[in-house]
Structure 1
Amino acid sequence: MKLRKLLATLALGLVAVQVAFAHLGNIAGIVYDQSTHLPLRNVSVQLTGVGKLALTDERGQFRFTNLVTAPYKLEFSHVGFQNQLVTATVGEDQTTFVKVHLISAPIELSQVQVSATRAHDQQLISSLDIKLRPITNSQEILRSVPGLFIGQHAGGGKAEQIFLRGFDLDHGTDIRLTVDGMPVNMVSHAHGQGYADLHFVIPELVEGVDFKKGPYTTDKGNLATAGWVDFRTRTALDKSFAKLEAGQYASYRAVAGINLLGQAGRTKNQSAYMASEYSATNSYFDNPQHFKRLNVLGKYHGHLGANTNLTLTASTFWSQWNHSGQIPDRAVASGVTDWFGSIDPTEGGETSRTNGNAQLVTVTPKNHVIKHQFFYSNYNFELYSNFTFFLKDTVNGDQIRQKEHRNLFGYNGSYSTQTNIGKTSWTTTLGAQYRQDITHGTELSHTKNRVETLNRIQLGNVNEINAALYADELVQLTSRFTMNAGLRVDYFRSQYEDLLAIPTSTTKRATQAIVSPKLNLYYTLNPRVQVYLNTGKGFHSNDARVVTAQNGTLRRTGEILPGAYGSDLGIIFKPFPKLLINAAAWYLWMQQEFVYVGDEGVVEPSGRSRRQGLDLSVRYQLTKSLYADVDLNTANPRSLDASEGQNYLPLAPTFTSTGGLSLQTRYGLSGSLRYRYMADRPANEDNTIVAKGYFVTDMQVNYAKRAYTIGLSVQNLLNTRWKETQFATESRLKGEAAPVDEIHFTPGTPFFARLSLTYFW
Structure 2
Amino acid sequence: METVTIVGNYNNSVGTSDAASQGSVTSNLIVNRPALRTGELLEFVPGMIVTQHSGDGKANQYFLRGTNLDHGTDFATYVDGMPVNMRSHAHGQGYSDLNFLLPELVQRIDYKKGTYFADEGDFASAGAAHIRLVDSLPQGIASLSLGSYGYQRAVLANSLAAVNGTLLYGLELNRNNGPWDNPEGVRKYSGLLRYSQGNHEDGFDITAMAYTNNWNSSDQIPLRAVQSGLIDRYGAIDPTDGGRSSRYSLSYALHKRNQLGQFEFDAYAVQSALELFSNFTYYLNDPVNGDQFNQSEYRRMLGFNMSQAWDKQLAGLEMQNRIGLQVRYDKLSPVGIYNTLAQQRISTIRQDEVKESSAGLYAENIIQWLPKLRTVAGVRYDAYRFDVNSSVAGDSGKVSDHIVSPKLSLIFGPWDKTEYFINYGTGFHSNDARGTTQTRLPDGGASNPVTPLVKTRGGELGVRTEIIPGLQSSLALWRLDIDSELLFVGDAGETEPSRASRRTGIEWNNHYIAAPWLLFDLDLAISRARYTQYDPVGAYIPGSLDKVASFGVTVTDIGRWYGGVQLRYFGPRPLIEDGSVRSASTTLAYARIGYKIAPRTRLTLDAFNLFNKQASDIDYYYQSRLRGETADGANDIHFHPVEPRALRLTLTHNF
TM-score range, shorter chain: over 0.9
Rounded Cα–Cα distance in structure 2 between residues aligned with 1:110 and 1:672:
16
TM-superposition CA deviations, 1:68-106 (whole Å, max 9, x none): xxxxxxxxxxxxxxxxxxxxxxxxxxxxxxxxxxx9722
For the pair 1:494 / 2:386, whether they are aligned, the reply is yes
Match of 1:440 in 2: 333
1:296 to 191, 213, 223: 191
For the pair 1:679 / 2:571, whether they are aligned, the reply is yes
For the pair 1:603 / 2:495, whether they are aligned, the reply is yes
For the pair 1:545 / 2:437, whether they are aligned, the reply is no
1:579 to 471, 476, 480: 471
The unaligned stretches of length 5 or more in structure 1 are 1-102
Rounded Cα–Cα distance in structure 2 between residues aligned with 1:555 and 1:513:
19
Match of 1:321 in 2: 215
Match of 1:247 in 2: 147
**What's the secondary structure of 1:477's corresponding residue?**
strand
Rounded Cα–Cα distance in structure 1 between residues aligned with 2:122 and 2:544:
21
Match of 2:541 in 1: 649
1:479 to 349, 360, 371: 371
Match of 1:619 in 2: 511
Give the superposition deviation at 1:308: 4.5
Q: TM-score with structure 2 length normalisation?
A: 0.94
| Equivalent pair of 2:10/2:25 in contact (CA under 8 Å) | no
Task: Label 1:754 to 1:128 Cα distance change in 2 as closer, same or farther (>3 A).
Answer: closer
**What's the secondary structure of 1:257's corresponding residue?**
strand
* Larger helix fraction of residues: 1
Give 1 or 2 for the bigger CA radius of gyration: 1
Q: Map residues 71-110 of structure 1 onto 2, 5 A cutoff.
A: 105-107=5-7
| Equivalent pair of 1:212/1:229 in contact (CA under 8 Å) | yes
TM-superposition CA deviations, 1:578-600 (whole Å, max 9, x none): 12211100011111111122232
Give the superposition deviation at 1:120: 5.9
**What's the secondary structure of 2:611's corresponding residue?**
coil
| Equivalent pair of 2:26/2:107 in contact (CA under 8 Å) | no
For the pair 1:513 / 2:394, whether they are aligned, the reply is no
**What's the secondary structure of 1:141's corresponding residue?**
helix
- What code does the residue aligned with 1:138 have? T
For the pair 1:153 / 2:53, whether they are aligned, the reply is yes
Match of 2:480 in 1: 588
Give the superposition deviation at 1:501: 3.7
| Equivalent pair of 1:130/1:207 in contact (CA under 8 Å) | no
Give the superposition deviation at 1:362: 1.4
Match of 1:414 in 2: 307
Task: Label 1:288 to 1:436 Cα distance change in 2 as closer, same or farther (>3 A).
Answer: same
| Equivalent pair of 2:30/2:41 in contact (CA under 8 Å) | no
Rounded Cα–Cα distance in structure 1 between residues aligned with 2:135 and 2:192:
12
Match of 2:444 in 1: none
Rounded Cα–Cα distance in structure 2 between residues aligned with 1:258 and 1:133:
19
Give the superposition deviation at 1:123: 5.5
Task: Label 1:111 to 1:607 Cα distance change in 2 as closer, same or farther (>3 A).
Answer: closer
Give the superposition deviation at 1:107: 3.2
Match of 2:645 in 1: 751
- What code does the residue aligned with 2:636 have? E
- What code does the residue aligned with 1:602 have? E
Rounded Cα–Cα distance in structure 2 between residues aligned with 1:429 and 1:498:
41
Q: Map residues 259-298 of structure 1 onto 2, 5 A cutoff.
A: 259-261=159-161, 270-298=165-193
Count of aligned positions: 645
Match of 1:403 in 2: 296
Match of 1:380 in 2: 273
| Equivalent pair of 2:114/2:126 in contact (CA under 8 Å) | yes
TM-superposition CA deviations, 1:338-382 (whole Å, max 9, x none): 111010000000000001110111111x35111111101000000
Rounded Cα–Cα distance in structure 1 between residues aligned with 2:436 and 2:256:
40
Q: Relative to structure 2, which stretch is displaced further, 348-357 or 317-326?
A: 317-326
Give the superposition deviation at 1:424: 3.0
- What code does the residue aligned with 1:528 have? K
Give the superposition deviation at 1:124: 4.8
| Equivalent pair of 1:664/1:671 in contact (CA under 8 Å) | yes
Rounded Cα–Cα distance in structure 2 between residues aligned with 1:666 and 1:129:
16
Give the superposition deviation at 1:241: 1.3
Rounded Cα–Cα distance in structure 2 between residues aligned with 1:168 and 1:562:
17
Rounded Cα–Cα distance in structure 1 between residues aligned with 2:303 and 2:14:
36
C-alpha RMSD of the superposition = 2.4
For the pair 1:337 / 2:222, whether they are aligned, the reply is no
Rounded Cα–Cα distance in structure 1 between residues aligned with 2:201 and 2:465:
38
**What's the secondary structure of 1:682's corresponding residue?**
coil
Give the superposition deviation at 1:130: 3.4
| Equivalent pair of 1:135/1:203 in contact (CA under 8 Å) | no
TM-superposition CA deviations, 1:364-409 (whole Å, max 9, x none): 1x35111111101000000000000000011110000000100000
What fraction of aligned residue pairs are identical, expressed as a percent?
33
- What code does the residue aligned with 1:545 have? R
Rounded Cα–Cα distance in structure 2 between residues aligned with 1:655 and 1:155:
26
For the pair 1:197 / 2:97, whether they are aligned, the reply is yes
For the pair 1:138 / 2:27, whether they are aligned, the reply is no
| Equivalent pair of 1:530/1:572 in contact (CA under 8 Å) | yes
Task: Label 1:167 to 1:255 Cα distance change in 2 as closer, same or farther (>3 A).
Answer: same
Match of 2:443 in 1: none
Rounded Cα–Cα distance in structure 2 between residues aligned with 1:742 and 1:545:
30
2:623 to 710, 716, 730: 730
For the pair 1:391 / 2:284, whether they are aligned, the reply is yes
Give the superposition deviation at 1:494: 0.7
For the pair 1:221 / 2:121, whether they are aligned, the reply is yes
Give the superposition deviation at 1:729: 1.6
1:184 to 73, 80, 84: 84
